[in-house]
A and B are shown apart, each in its own frame.
Chain A
């Protein structure tokens, strides 16, 4: 694999391989020595043009546990703030002999653009409202382990409701693409104002009625409503949003038995998810965080473990 830019790049074998290896890597997390030598001598630069704590940290830990040298570059305080273009910044770092860039950028398509410029391999850690493939992979790992724990195997026949601000979400697109490959059925739930254009071509059921979906979804994935969108006129008031699209305490009991709750974080408790739901026994929110490092180890290994993905 040369780059990971989109979940559309993953065929079933690769996606399953990444999930399988991530499960092995979860075992490494419980070892006294959490270090494998697989990526010794590789240099990974995490370059984040947008704030992120969990994604950047988990990529950094993942690289370090695989013995790569990981370096963090944030846009603040870098030459970016002096007006250097994205292209020049990336080419400069590339010229230093970096093996892999993990990039987060506020513009959709930035990761793919960078991949076309540089010699290094590129992982998309979130590009605008486009994609966030490693989040979808860790969601899939968390779901797969949940399904296994309740005695079910695989994604076939499983219904995954993704609820909330789909318009501004990069997580939803990656999840839809990945589930298309893995075999899960995605139902999108959002107010019409927060649906992405072209959503009718995604091959998913779309509805604005959360209650009609709750009883049959195996996974309810709540997406963050970004408070900065409130002013955008996408919905009348916060309270009204919560009433129709929030996972309230009342809605918890309407969920299908054995169903679980996901949220990619950070959560707005009391808006899209109630504290009762976030902390419920069937909440997988912390499992998702725990899966983050393992998934990123697996992705980095698949990209950098062999020289075949490098440009010669």
Chain B
């Protein structure tokens, strides 16, 4: 019996299962089981380990509040800007670095990459103090020096979102540049030469050679940026700490955390989590369809 099992597992039929087993086990325990439990819990009122009462859709009905809608708006606004900024700017920088136009491009590559090695909490505190509400805060000093009005950066949704995007850009720019560079380096140089012979200018080369060439990388970057945008939490906690006036920086994940742990309502938090999951899956699917991810390669 044991010998037969051993033969099966070492044979060509069994080995693949053996190799994927760690992932399958990990997936079942760490992803699927919590997901199923979350779905169950989202229909429950949970008061301690022995008090689980099914309350139907009540948790979902409680989501129609100003707080939750504001968290949706904050996350949505952030995700949109995040995708725009973190797709375009690193792409432009990567193209410049790759083209050989910039001198010492290796130096700049490392320079752009360094922020992603810092702790987001530390960076958040520095940003929070630099963008303080007082007129004497660093950035407001600079503004008044140029004759502009000081801004209460973190007190309002617009400027708050700007600081958040700036922090994210500062931190993740380098990582996306690395992705793009790897994509750019995979484009054969004879494509550019052919375009040159056909009389294409730099812009036409970018549109017709570079962009199609890095499409897989572009899809990947946009997908993870959408995911990251909706699940952003640490950056807003670092900037606003636990006190989030007016919900200016409270994201959906921040709202979920607050409901689950501060109000000790894990049922409602599960419902928030599932709404977030639905939202992210929907947005990602739309984006992937639009970008032709499911189209068969020509």
Do they bind each other? no
Interface residues of A (CB under 8 A from B): none
Interface residues of B (CB under 8 A from A): none
